[in-house]
């Protein structure tokens, strides 16, 4: 019954993710008539070489619109660092403009210094026009002199908007700056500047449902696909090698033992036991810190379930390019609704290990992942607040997340824990555990925990490192990751490689008569 309720809740989560963060413009159907106002929002500015460092658009002294309006954003958009406000440009549907004046203003010395610092760091701006992302640089550096003190810094004052339309819908927008319309901001002195913009409309045959395709084309270029498939082939070779390695162990080392014990049990009992057979009375002894172990197992199961659901949403096309905040909303909602899985798994396993204080175990399960995450968030959010970056979450968003954790995550965690406690599952070891643990013989250094962790992580990393490069380039760079099908294949390969290497290293550990395998197995 509890399992059916959990599946129902997860299904609701999928529906929420589908509907909650779909990008919506002020005109929900994206259809316009001649002269209609099309929503244009300025989002943020930041250095091109550090996309994670972004600030509000009007942190720089640009022209303010006549009526400042902040766009109401969903939870995922705020977590993504989007802070949309109305832009000072008026781009009405099918209305062309030539050198329209945005504003005339005198930049003070401080404002000139702000623009110069931004140009020096190669700042770009981002806007959204009818939910289409657009970018442009705010200035350029003239490096004719070899010495940095001789560099000239110029601010672009004229922006050109080239907009493509199909009947009554906006299909594409491009932004370019006039390299001849410049303002010298090299020196700290007041400057008079006139900001201008030009709008040109062009017709295209591209259908509306294909307008986002161009943002994902860089990920699906032939040479990129070749690299991705090379990664998969490399991972498959790793899997085949591990399979052959394990098959050799099972066929040559274990097969004879299994046959001997199956056909001649009395002879097997008379013979002296060695290696992994020598510790059969200790191998199922309960691990140390079993409450922490059970909590780790519960949290890991929840994160694995979260990953699977995220892949499902990605494969059905929810996370299309620049669907702002959809991924973050999915992470928050699905993590909250899968907390019952963590509670059930941790408490059930803890009770199987004859644990008595299941409430403390449940509290540990709830804090094991959220605790370090909360501390990390507090540090990063404090830094973002000090630097007034858009990564700083507003107080209202923090309250919403706390309420989700309090009203959804915690109750489901408790319900899962109660269901796990009442599951009455018993730990059934295949052999009797001895009363006193056997002494573990001295082991060489390469059989220690740290070397084993390094060995266990090397092969899985070698199977996914190419995909990791593209993921990191997407998270901390300007690349857009869209090939989720290949990523899912690599994820499956990662699971297989991890399982194989864990089995192999656990066998080697038991063969060395080290019966404390529980934590080593979990770490690997």
Sign of the alpha-carbon dihedral angle for 285, 287, 291, 294: negative
Q: Quickly state the pLDDT bin for 2 (edges 50, 70, 90).
A: very low
Inform me whether the pLDDT recorded for 159 exceeds 80: yes
- The residues near 222 (Cβ < 8 Å, ≥ 6 apart) are none
- CA torsion 442→443→449→451, rounded to 10°? 150
| Lowest-confidence pick of 132-136, 267-271, 311-315, 318-322 | 267-271
| Lowest-confidence pick of 160-169, 176-185, 216-225, 264-273 | 264-273
| Lowest-confidence pick of 172-176, 289-293, 389-393, 434-438 | 434-438
The reported pLDDT for the residue numbered 29 is: 76
- Cα distance between residue 176 and residue 221, in whole Å: 24
Burial 94-132 (b: 16+ CB within 10 A, else e): beebeeeebeebebeeebbebbbebbeebbbbbbbbbbb
Q: Quickly state the pLDDT bin for 23 (edges 50, 70, 90).
A: very low
Inform me whether the pLDDT recorded for 395 exceeds 80: yes
- Cα distance between residue 107 and residue 251, in whole Å: 80
Is-above-0.85 flag for pTM? no
Residue with tokens 């700056």: 177
The reported pLDDT for the residue numbered 223 is: 57
Angle ∠(282,288,289) on CA atoms, nearest 5: 155
CA–chain centroid gap for 114, Å, is 33
The reported pLDDT for the residue numbered 303 is: 95
Residue 25 or residue 159, greater confidence: 159
Of 135, 140, 145, 148, the C-alpha closest to 116 is 140
Inform me whether the pLDDT recorded for 117 exceeds 90: yes
The reported pLDDT for the residue numbered 322 is: 67
Inform me whether the pLDDT recorded for 251 exceeds 50: yes
Residue 189 neighbours by CB distance under 10 Å: 11
Are the C-beta atoms of residues 483 and 220 closer than 8 Å to each other? Answer: yes
The reported pLDDT for the residue numbered 6 is: 45
Of 310, 307, 338, the C-alpha closest to 409 is 338
What radius of gyration, in Å, describes the C-alpha atoms of the chain?
30
Q: For 472-492, how does the pLDDT look when each residue is reduced to its tens digit (9 = 90+)?
A: 888 787 777 778 888 898 899
Q: Quickly state the pLDDT bin for 276 (edges 50, 70, 90).
A: low
Q: Where does 217-289 have alpha helices with state H?
A: 222-249, 255-263, 265-270
Residues, the chain? 524
Of 129, 190, 128, 180, the C-alpha closest to 159 is 180
- Cα distance between residue 398 and residue 17, in whole Å: 19
- Cα distance between residue 226 and residue 254, in whole Å: 41
- CA torsion 73→470→240→256, rounded to 10°? -60
């Amino acid at each position: 019954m509890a399992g059916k309720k959990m599946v129902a809740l997860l299904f609701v989560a999928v529906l929420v993710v589908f509907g909650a963060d779909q990008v919506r413009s002020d005109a929900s159907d994206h259809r316009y008539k001649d002269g209609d106002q099309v929503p244009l929002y300025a989002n943020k500015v930041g250095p091109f070489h550090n996309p994670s460092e972004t600030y509000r658009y009007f942190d720089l002294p640009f022209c303010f619109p006549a009526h400042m309006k902040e766009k109401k954003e969903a939870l995922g958009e705020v977590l993504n660092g989007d802070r949309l406000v109305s832009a000072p440009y008026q781009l009405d549907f099918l209305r062309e403009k030539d050198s329209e004046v945005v504003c005339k203003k005198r930049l003070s010395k401080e404002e000139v210094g702000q623009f110069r610092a931004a140009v020096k760091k190669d700042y770009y701006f981002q806007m959204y026009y009818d939910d289409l992302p657009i970018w442009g640089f705010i200035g350029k550096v003239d490096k004719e002199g070899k010495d940095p003190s001789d560099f000239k810094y110029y601010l672009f004052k004229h922006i050109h908007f080239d907009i493509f339309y199909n009947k009554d819908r906006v299909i594409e927008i491009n932004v370019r700056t006039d390299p001849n319309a410049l303002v010298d901001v090299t020196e700290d002195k007041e400057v008079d500047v006139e900001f201008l913009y030009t709008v040109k409309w062009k017709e295209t045959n591209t259908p509306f449902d294909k307008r986002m395709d161009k943002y994902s084309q860089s990920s699906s270029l032939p040479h990129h696909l070749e690299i991705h498939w090379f990664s998969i082939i490399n991972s498959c070779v790793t899997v085949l090698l591990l399979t052959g390695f394990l098959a050799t162990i099972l066929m040559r080392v274990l097969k004879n033992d299994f046959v001997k014990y199956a056909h001649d049990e009395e002879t097997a009992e008379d013979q002296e036991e060695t290696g992994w057979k020598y510790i059969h009375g200790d191998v199922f002894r309960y691990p140390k810190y079993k409450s922490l172990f059970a909590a780790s197992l519960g949290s890991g199961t929840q994160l694995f379930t979260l990953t699977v659901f995220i892949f499902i949403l990605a494969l059905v096309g929810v996370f299309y390019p620049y669907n702002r905040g959809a991924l973050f909303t999915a992470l928050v909602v699905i993590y909250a609704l899968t907390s019952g899985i963590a509670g059930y798994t941790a408490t059930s396993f803890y009770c199987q290990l004859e644990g008595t204080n299941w409430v403390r175990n449940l509290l540990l399960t709830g804090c094991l992942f959220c605790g370090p995450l909360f501390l990390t968030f507090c540090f990063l959010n404090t830094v973002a607040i000090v630097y007034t970056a858009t990564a700083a979450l507003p107080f209202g968003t923090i309250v919403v997340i706390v309420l989700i954790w309090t009203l959804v995550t915690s109750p489901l965690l408790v319900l899962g824990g109660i269901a796990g406690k009442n599951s009455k599952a018993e730990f059934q070891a295949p052999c009797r555990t001895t009363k006193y643990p056997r002494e573990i013989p001295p082991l060489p250094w390469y059989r220690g925990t740290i070397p084993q962790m390094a060995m266990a992580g090397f092969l899985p990393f070698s199977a996914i490192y190419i995909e990791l490069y593209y993921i990191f380039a997407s998270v901390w760079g300007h690349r857009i990751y869209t090939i989720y099908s290949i990523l899912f294949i690599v994820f499956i390969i990662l699971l297989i490689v991890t399982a194989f290497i864990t089995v192999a290293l656990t066998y080697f550990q038991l063969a060395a008569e080290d019966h404390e395998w529980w934590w080593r197995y979990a770490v690997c």
